[in-house]
Amino acid sequence: MDLTVLNLTDILEGESLVARHSHGEGMNSTYRLTSLVLGGVFATSLSFGQIPFQNGTGTFSQNFTGVWNASELIDGDFSPNNGWAIFNNGVTSAQTAVFETVTDQTLPGLKITMVQNHGNPGHLIGRFRWSVTSDDRSLFADGLQNGGDVTANWTVLTPVSVTAPAPLSSTILGDGSILMATSGSLTTATYEVTFAEALTSVTGFRLEAMEDPSLPTGGPGLFPNGNFVINEITAEAVPEPFTLIAVGAGLAMVARRRKH
Ligand SMILES: [Ca+2]
Ligand SMILES: [Ca+2]
Ligand SMILES: [Ca+2]
């Protein structure tokens, strides 16, 4: 997104101001801007809606002590026993899950939230990487939970930040993957991963669960057998830093105009 396509409408709703951003092709997003005046400085936060997903697909999904399908990453169910896991007959290895966006997404920046709520402590992913594609949706994500079609023209996204609760720590590796480590025991954790690349026409996402020698059994999870449970993935557009500054300036102008 750049400033020229952001039209701020002069509508103040309580503490919020609604802006509409046209993507062309009849698609519009409504962003809600919440403004605060702090010591004369305009601080602005933008919240965008969650991106709807469909057709969760996996190279492998655990079917042991329950069903742990890749499709459960995006089914809207955050409960502890609803999620994707990859323990396969005693072995844990690199696996991939993909899913489609319901509509093409233009994203100035992106925040992905990875919720890991499983009750058996420490079922957390240890190394992973996110990618996006603009391929036609018919060309990937066939909905299979085992041996699913995860092949597409993927663009690896390198994060700008990763947040996870202590005592977890994260390292962003040169291939765009994120390696987690922990200095203590942890039951559950939500990771937030932020990307600052402007993306257009995004039709799909890929999550790679990757191995690493630092992880138990080489990973991909932090659980002693290398497994993990990711209960739900949510994603939303976030503004790039330049846009935040521009929006802040726009709000300041609106506020000035209202004084007259
Ligand atoms: Ca779920
Ligand atoms: Ca393993
Ligand atoms: Ca598909």
> For the chain, how are helix, strand and coil distributed in percent, rounded to 5?
10, 45, 40
pLDDT over 90 for what percent of the chain?
71
DSSP state of 69: -
Spatial separation of the C-alpha atoms in residues 60 and 43, rounded to whole Å? 45
Answer with the residue of higher pLDDT: 17 or 84. 84
Answer with the residue of higher pLDDT: 121 or 13. 121
179 C-alpha to ligand 2 centroid (Å): 15
- Is pLDDT at 32 greater than 50 in this prediction? no
Contact call for residues 81 and 66 (beta carbons, < 8 A):
yes
236 C-alpha to ligand 3 centroid (Å): 21
Answer with the residue of higher pLDDT: 69 or 34. 69
Q: Rg (Cα) of the chain, in Å, rounded?
A: 20
Residue 250 banded pLDDT, cuts 50, 70, 90: low
159 C-alpha to ligand 2 centroid (Å): 24
Write out pLDDT tens, residues 140-190: 999 999 999 999 999 999 999 999 999 999 999 999 999 999 998 888 999
Ligand nearest to the CA of 234: 1
238 C-alpha to ligand 3 centroid (Å): 26
217 C-alpha to ligand 2 centroid (Å): 4
Contact call for residues 189 and 183 (beta carbons, < 8 A):
no
151 C-alpha to ligand 3 centroid (Å): 10
pTM greater than 0.85 (yes/no): no
158 C-alpha to ligand 2 centroid (Å): 24
- Is pLDDT at 82 greater than 70 in this prediction? yes
By the CB criterion, residues less than 5 angstroms from ion ligand 2 are: 92, 217-218, 226
- Is pLDDT at 23 greater than 60 in this prediction? no
Model pLDDT, residue 18: 41
- Is pLDDT at 104 greater than 80 in this prediction? yes
Under the phi-then-psi rule, with left for phi > 0, alpha for psi from -120 to 50, and beta for the rest, what region is 165?
beta
What is the distance, to the nearest Å, from the Cα of residue 248 to the centroid of all Cα atoms in its chain?
Answer: 25
Q: What is the pLDDT of the chain when averaged over all its residues?
A: 83
203 C-alpha to ligand 3 centroid (Å): 9
Place of tokens 């041996």: 147
Answer with the residue of higher pLDDT: 1 or 98. 98
Domains of the chain, with CATH numbers?
3-49+240-259 (no CATH), 53-237 (2.60.120.260)
What phi and psi, each to the nearest 5 degrees, are found at residue 230? -105, 115
Write out pLDDT tens, residues 225-247: 999 999 999 999 998 765 555 56
| Over residues 209-222, mean pLDDT | 98
